[in-house]
Structure 1
Amino acid sequence: MHQDQLHIDSDIARRMIREQFPQYLHEDVVAVAGAGTDNAIFRIGSESAARFPLRAMNPVECAARLRSEAAAMSELWQLCPFPTPRPVGLGAPGPDYPMPWTVQTWIEGEAATPAGLSRSRTFALDLVRLITSLRQGDVRGRRFNGRGRGGNLVDHDAWMEVCLSNSESLLDVAQLRRMWARFRELPPAGPEVMSHKDLIPANLLVASEHLIGVLDGGGFGPADPSLDLVVAWHLLDRERRMIFRDAIQANDVEWRRGGAWAFQQAMGLVWYYQITNPTMSALGRSTISRLVEDYADRH
């Protein structure tokens, strides 16, 4: 999926896990299929999982980031009203894989999909419960760390130009340029709050019509209060989006900024993963179609 992607397979992962975490010596190690883009995941027995970063970076910097993510996961675990993984340990590089990696607890469940529960009021209200619970966390004087989404919309102009240029043959770019021009001018929505920061379908586990697990909490921290609202366009149809908005009591600016962050994320998915990860590319298309639907209503 990436030009700097590292090779990791079940044999390498199994060997490293058993050598560095002897408590798993007799556990099965199986690759987990999915739409993940940042990590290769291997299930260890029935209660644990290993995550190996897919993109090459300086190992010392990577280890520092993984420790920071572990701290964020522990903080999320204390606040999240749904099960979420807890860190178990940090693995060291080996001869066949040159980066640090992590072990964490396993949460059972099926990943949500863009359409699967899009018409469920129950699911929409579970998402409201998740976000409002996370917002109760104390930012403790911290600010947005400046990485990724969650700060100033205009900081993403250059990336959006890359995305729009690469989407010329895939999407109605003229309309999407007009949408971004309006999104980027939105004022701040209010003080930063604690946010998951990546509420995409693959990070939310469901059963029946309920949310039953929340994954990938390593980014948990302060951000624009609108950021976690992206989940409304990733996962809900128009009627359920309105139920979600009313329940979470989002004002107009906060709601529109949530759409802006969903737009920024979706525009990077369609073209980048068109060949290498069709599931993520399709998510981008689905989210953009919902945003276009709302944009057409407004204009």
Structure 2
Amino acid sequence: MGVGDPGFGYPWPWAVSRWLDGEVATVDALGDSAGAAVELAQFLAALQRFAPGDIPAVDMSDDLTGRPLSERDRETRVAIAEVDGVFDAAAMTELWNAALSAPGWDQAPVWFHGDFHTGNLLTSGGRLSAVIDFGGLGKGDPACDLMIAFTLMSADSRAAFRDALGVDDATWMRGRGWALATGLNAYTSYAAVNPRVAAQTTRQITQALTG
């Protein structure tokens, strides 16, 4: 891997990484796989354990996954009102209120991926092969990474995932809130012009409501 600094008219840091073979994970391929769900739980557990005290501070001023869920309150309620009639606004409001009311993360900050959804998972030979795109990496409440349970998994594989990761009720509720908020944001921004996003976010929202 090569890392470069801004220069020669290009204003941002850049990197060149080795190619990873594989295809983007899909619900059809892995949604019902308890084995894949457990592997994802093991990945998150390992990521959360890697938190030595000398890790430098992470600047999350522009990263909403590193901020309290409450900072998405206004835009999420606006989105709920906007999609009323497409989804059950009363059920979404009930879930959102419950997520905001859930006890916050009261343990030491841990690493989270920050953008943990199907588009950032690769498969090879029908199995998980890589987790990619760590641009949202941060430290704090790991609930944001639980969105994978609602973007990829069925009810049964989601139960296996939760059990393997050992997620408590409050963190799970906050995770459902993250899934709802990010799903609504993507749906209201892109669903009208992108059928693929419409289908993915519809599933994400409905699965978050299911729990």
TM-score by length of 1: 0.62
Is structure 2 residue 3 aligned with structure 1 residue 88? yes
Residue among 83, 104, 121 paired with 2:16: 104
**The residue matched to 2:64 in structure 1 has which SS?**
coil
**The residue matched to 1:206 in structure 2 has which SS?**
strand
Identity of aligned residues (%): 27
2:77 corresponds to which letter in structure 1?
E
Q: What do you get for the CA RMSD once the two structures are aligned?
A: 2.3
Which structure dedicates a bigger proportion of its chain to helix? 2
Give ranges in structure 2 of 5+ residues lacking alignment. none
Give ranges in structure 1 of 5+ residues lacking alignment. 1-85, 295-299
* Shift in CA distance, 166/117, structure 1 to aligned 2, threshold 3 Å: same
Shift of 1:275: 3.0
Is structure 2 residue 192 aligned with structure 1 residue 275? yes
1:152 corresponds to which letter in structure 2?
P
Shift of 1:274: 1.2
| Deviations 1:222-266, CA, capped at 9 Å, x for gaps | 021222121111111000011111111111112111111111111
Aligned to 2:150: 233
Aligned to 1:20: none
1:258-269 correspondence runs (5 A)? 258-269=175-186
**The residue matched to 2:210 in structure 1 has which SS?**
helix
Structure 1 residue runs of 4 or more that deviate by more than 4 Å after TM superposition: 90-94
2:202 corresponds to which letter in structure 1?
R
Aligned to 2:106: 190
* Shift in CA distance, 148/114, structure 1 to aligned 2, threshold 3 Å: farther
TM-score by length of 2: 0.86
- Specify which structure has the bigger relative contact order, considering alpha-carbon pairs within 8 angstroms and separated by 6 or more residues: 2
1:27-176 correspondence runs (5 A)? 86=1, 88-90=3-5, 92=7, 100=12, 102-105=14-17, 106-138=19-51, 140=53, 142=57, 145-146=60-61, 147-176=63-92
Shift of 1:89: 2.9
* Shift in CA distance, 261/100, structure 1 to aligned 2, threshold 3 Å: same
